[in-house]
Amino acid sequence: MNSAARRRMASLSELAGLVADGAATTRSAIVGATGLSRAAIAQRVDLLIERGLLVETEPAATDRGRPPLALDLSDARIVVAGCDLGATHSRLAVATLSGRVLAERERAIDINAGPDAVLAGVRTDLEELLAAAGRPADHLRAVGIGVPGPVEFASGTVVRPPIMAGWDGCRIPAYFEGRYAAPVLVDNDVNAMALGEYTHRQASRHLLYVKVGTGIGCGIVSDGVLHRGASGAAGDIGHIQLPGHEDVLCHCGNTGCVEAVASGAAIAAALRAQGADAARAADVVRLVSAGHAAARRHVRLAGQRIGEVLASLVSFHNPDTIVIGGILAKLHEDLLADVRAVIYRRALPLATRSLAIETSVLGERAGMLGAVRLAARHLLSAEGMAGIIGDV
């Protein structure tokens, strides 16, 4: 795009974003929010309606004359897909541009089966979900995918993942090219979870989403912006070193990482050493739920260790909300009580004055819904607009 086209797409993106966020949902309100003329706004709104991004509807009648027509994102001609890939699961949804899920599916996978097997399954599921939603393939205009490993976001390439055997260097969008007129956006699964959780928490502006499962990771969202850092590694808190645990080897090659001593996998290993039946993080949840004293003790100790890391992040980043997700979040107060206690004791008082520390409101669907949001927001960006609208 030349500079004039970029400015045009940026203006259209701003307008669509105002409608999507509910900040301006009538033509007059958009004029007030942007400072553009009524004629300029009318031209842009009409174009977005014509291309299937917006719809204008008659609002409910009032006693004060005829109210203005209301603008909203259109559900008619554009859908997006969001996929959350974990170590043992795939969750996929087809949704409208506004995020309303039309069809979804969850199934068991083994991420170590490699990209060919796993992504072939995603492609098949996507085709079947589009059919179930009654949407043709050309309605699909963007796909978001979260994976449990480091990702170079610009290219969708997985980079040296610790638990995804055979995926290093895999450029995931290539598996979908030629099938759909839809860009594929790939991110770390915790980033997708953070975005999903943020979208469903109206009171939060600065959020940290901490996934405590087989491993430990963190997603960072501030004012609706997902922070990936310079190369996509922001939030990789699982490999922050905990003093006093230098004798514990982590799969990353370093020692003393919080993931190596406080993750679901680490707790399961400690319980196995004591003779308990605990092969993975889900077994830890099962044992604690059954009243297993040693399992509960290990979970509370893990909460303290995670709290030590988060206390530093609270003083540094000053979030208003910390959300604990992942499979161990099912334990609620068994984990949260000690996380909270350490944060409130160690972090700056000003940073904790209005801090909420809670479990996820979306649960296991956070990553899938965050991937939907990732895809939808791309379509409303200047780059996404260009793909839909073309030369104008």
Q: What pLDDT sits at residue 203?
A: 85
Q: Do domains 3-73 and 79-194+367-389 have the same CATH topology?
A: no
How is residue 35 annotated by DSSP? -
Q: What is the pLDDT at residue 391? A: 61
Report which residue type is found at 130: L
> What b-and-e string marks burial along 358-389, b requiring 16 or more CB atoms within 10 Å of the CB?
bbbebebbbbbbbbbbbbbbbbbebebbbbbb
Supply the pLDDT for residue 296: 96
187, 300 contact by CB (below 8 A): no
The neighbour count for residue 340, using CB atoms within 10 Å, is: 20
The per-residue DSSP string of 329-378 comes to: GGGTHHHHHHHHHHHHHHS-HHHHTT-EEEE-SSGGGHHHHHHHHHHHHH
Q: How far apart are CA 59 and CA 327, in angstroms?
A: 43
Is residue 16 within 8 A of residue 53, CB to CB? The reply is yes
> What pLDDT is attached to residue 263?
95
Measured distance CA(94)–CA(100) in Å, rounded: 9
CA distances from 226 to 286, 369, 382 (A): 33, 15, 17
Give me the amino acid identity at 9.
M
- Angle (nearest 5°) at CA 87 between 185 and 219: 50
Q: For the domain 79-194+367-389, what is the CATH code?
A: 3.30.420.40
The fold of the 203-360 domain, in CATH, is: Nucleotidyltransferase; domain 5 (3.30.420)
Residue type, 91: R
User: Which residue's structure tokens are 């895999």?
Assistant: 170
Q: What is the pLDDT of residue 121?
A: 97
Residue type, 330: K
Show pLDDT as tens, one digit a residue, over the chain (392 residues).
688 888 899 999 999 999 998 899 999 999 999 999 999 999 999 999 999 999 998 765 555 666 788 999 998 999 999 999 998 899 999 999 999 999 999 999 999 999 999 999 999 999 999 999 999 999 999 999 999 999 999 999 999 988 899 999 999 999 999 888 899 999 999 999 999 999 999 889 999 999 999 889 999 999 989 999 988 889 989 999 999 999 999 988 899 999 999 999 999 999 999 999 999 999 999 999 999 999 999 999 999 999 999 999 999 999 999 999 999 999 888 899 999 999 999 999 999 999 999 999 999 999 999 999 999 999 999 999 998 887 65
The helix or strand, by DSSP H or E, that contains position 196, with its residue range, turns out to be helix 189-199
Amino acid 63: pLDDT: 58
3-73 CATH = 1.10.10.10
d(CA 343, CA 29): 43
Buried b (16+ CB within 10 A) or exposed e, 161-197: bbebebbeebebbebbeeebebbbbbbbbbbbbbbbb
Dump the DSSP string for 241-305.
BPTT-TTSBPTTS-BSBHHHHHSHHHHHHHHHHTT---SSHHHHHHHHHTT-HHHHHHHHHHHHH
Q: Which residues, including other chains, have CB under 8 Å from residue 383's CB and lie 6 or more apart?
A: 9
* C-alpha torsion 167→172→178→182, nearest 10: 160
**Contact (Cβ atoms closer than 8 angstroms) between residue 259 and residue 215:** yes
Handedness of CA 4, 9, 14, 16 (dihedral sign): positive
Q: Pairing mode, if any, of strands 151-152 and 140-147?
A: unpaired
DSSP letters along 87-122, please? Answer: SSEEEEEEEETT--EEEEEEEE--GGG-HHHHHHHH
Q: What is the pLDDT of residue 341?
A: 95
Q: Cα(311)–Cα(242) distance, rounded to whole angstroms?
A: 12
In degrees to the nearest 10, what's the CA dihedral of 57, 59, 60, 63? -140
Question: What letter would DSSP give residue 58?
Answer: P
Q: Where exactly are the structural domains of the chain?
A: 3-73, 79-194+367-389, 203-360
**pLDDT for position 61:** 57
* Cβ neighbours of 39 (radius 10 Å): 9
* Six-digit token string for 278: 């605990």
Is the distance from CB of 196 to CB of 202 less than 8 angstroms? no
